A and B are shown apart, each in its own frame.
Chain A
Amino acid sequence: MKQVGIEAINAYCGETYVDVPTLFAARGLDDSRIGNLMMARKSVALHCEDAVSFAVNAAKPIVDALTEEERSSIELLIVGTESGVDFGKSLATYVHDHLGLPRSCRLFETKQACYSGTAALQTAAAVVAASPFEGTKALVISSDVARPVPHTYVEPSQGAGAMAMLVSDRPVVAAFDHGANGFHSYEVMDTCRPDPEREAGDTDLSLLTYIDCLKGAFADYARKVEGADFVDTFDLLAMHTPFPGMVKGAHRAALRKLRRGISPQAVEDDFTARLGAAVQYPQQVGNIYAGTVFLALASTLDNAVVDRERRVGVFSYGSGCASEFYSVVVTPDSQRAVRAMGIREALDARYRLSMQEYDELLAATAELKFGARDFTFDLDRFPQITKERFTGGRRLVLEAVRDYHREYVWLGQGAAR
């Protein structure tokens, strides 16, 4: 069995952010709850960005770095999302086109709330592993753009972001432990998106279900992997992070169950040591749904001490619900490869929105209704943001919808307008 894993990973978490304490103050939310969220900033999509443009912007640097021959060996593209733009035509069709991928390529979209990215990743890993050809690659992208619900306690965590991963038999970034995957899934009505502009559900139920799934998926992992221990087997952990406070609560609940009598200080120390690095980027971006678990993995690789081979336990959860606990092995080379993508630098370089700009952006974004036949975007509507943002590099944005077809354009240096 050949070694399979992630060859490259990149994030695109938008051009702008809003400061979470500022949002709390402006909305009149109880700021004593900021501590519970553990959030500092959240990414906000521009009015002319959607899950397609986010996906392309995340994957573009990975695809650009490949040789022509390597690019032609990408025979599978899967986009995981809960921000679809059509019931039939998948996001992957647009993404495939704007990335210039070969036509000798399968493409489709996956949906299972925030688990959709993991569903895509594991499917891709299985396809690469089963391929009789050396060098077969698959591109997996998770991409979601929230429609924030103003004046609620979920608004501060509703972010926007995409994660792109190249899966191959050259797992520089992370090598999968073959067969080390635990699952736990069942029907539950915790959170959902009943229409493209609404998120509904019960936060408490989601939290309890997430914890059930963490315990259940790990138990299934431990059933398959002899001697697996939640504390001793994994040097680091990366978990789906709707908000970092939730991960902290789930970690505490799991440890109390799996390590009877553990002291509160020992729980805190373990969280800091094994999850402290993973929650850093989610604290800066918010919930990016399908991609959140991979943002946590990239955050781990960028921010943890990886001075030797390390095993990372990864937990993915999607409401409704499906979950998976699996493990990957990372090395100092993995860390170098991820740091070279400049994810932290890109997060730091985002434009800080005032509350007024944030509200204007939400209003502008809401103008494009799901299923609209024709629509044209005013790409100069927020010149203070776009003029500054699109001088340094190329970014894909949505320019128009014509007879249901989405038309995108590259903005930035060297791009023709």
Chain B
Amino acid sequence: MTRNEELTVTDEEIFAVLRAQIVDVLPEAADVEITPDHSMRDLGANSIDRMDVVIAAQEELGVKVPNSELTGAGDLRSLVGVFRRSLSARA
């Protein structure tokens, strides 16, 4: 997915799940306008926080994504793409 593509509804839903999990793990991020261009590192998440977010997001979305794909994603936009592809593959 490129930066110029419109987020589909599904992508927005995935992004909302990620954002909610990030705020849950990092309460201080609640005051930040989290965008798809942010990485979790940008938002102050350490390795344990990042792990908590992706595990919780998988639970919430009911999908198991290969770990190497999760850690290969840089910004949240890429991470949404990883989840979307995994959800599509399952469908």
Contacts and interface: CB of A to CB of B under 8 A. Distances in A.
Contact of B46 (A33, A189, A248, A253): A33
B48 interface: yes
Interface stretch (B13-21, B63-71, B81-89): B63-71
Contact of B50 (A204, A209, A248, A256): A204
B48 A205 contact: no
B67 A205 contact: yes
A204 B46 contact: no
A248 B52 CA distance: 11
B51 interface: yes
B55 interface: yes
A249 B67 contact: no
Contacts of B50: 204
A345 to B, nearest CB: 32
B51 A207 contact: yes
Contacts of B51: 204, 207-208, 211, 249, 253
B67 A246 contact: no
Interface string B42-73: 00001110111011000000000001101100
A99 B88 CA distance: 60
Nearest to B70: A208
Q: Which of B48, B55, B71 has the most CB of A within 10 A?
A: B48
B68 A252 contact: no
B47 A36 contact: yes
A189 B68 contact: yes
Contacts of B47: 36, 203-204, 207, 246
Contact of A205 (B52, B55, B71): B71
Contacts of B52: 249, 252-253
A245 interface: yes
B68 A188 contact: yes
Chain B, interface size category, equals 10 to 19
Contacts, number: 42
A365 to B, nearest CB: 27
Nearest to B68: A205
B48 A208 contact: no
Contacts of B55: 208, 211, 253, 256
A202 interface: yes
A207 B71 CA distance: 10
Interface in A1-58: 33, 36
Interface in A212-255: 212, 245-246, 248-249, 252-253
B54 A246 contact: no
Contacts of B46: 33, 36
A375 B85 CA distance: 55
Contact of A246 (B48, B68, B70): B48
A188 B54 CA distance: 18
Given A208-B54, A211-B55, A245 B70 contact: no
A256 B48 CA distance: 15
A39 B86 CA distance: 37
Contacts of A211: 51, 55
Contacts of B68: 188-189, 205
A208 B82 CA distance: 16
Interface in B1-44: none
Nearest to B67: A208
A170 B68 CA distance: 44
Given A208-B54, A211-B55, A253-B55, A188 B48 contact: no
B47 to A, nearest CB: 5
Nearest to A202: B71
Interface in A152-208: 188-189, 202-205, 207-208
Interface of A: 33, 36, 188-189, 202-205, 207-209, 211-212, 245-246, 248-249, 252-253, 256
26 contacts: A33-B46, A36-B46, A36-B47, A188-B67, A188-B68, A189-B68, A202-B71, A203-B47, A204-B50, A204-B70, A204-B71, A205-B67, A205-B71, A207-B48, A208-B54, A208-B67, A208-B70, A209-B67, A211-B51, A246-B48, A249-B48, A249-B51, A252-B52, A253-B52, A253-B55, A256-B55
Interface of B: 46-48, 50-52, 54-55, 67-68, 70-71
9 pairs of A and B residues whose beta carbons are closest in the complex: A249-B48, A208-B67, A204-B71, A205-B71, A36-B46, A207-B51, A203-B47, A253-B55, A202-B71
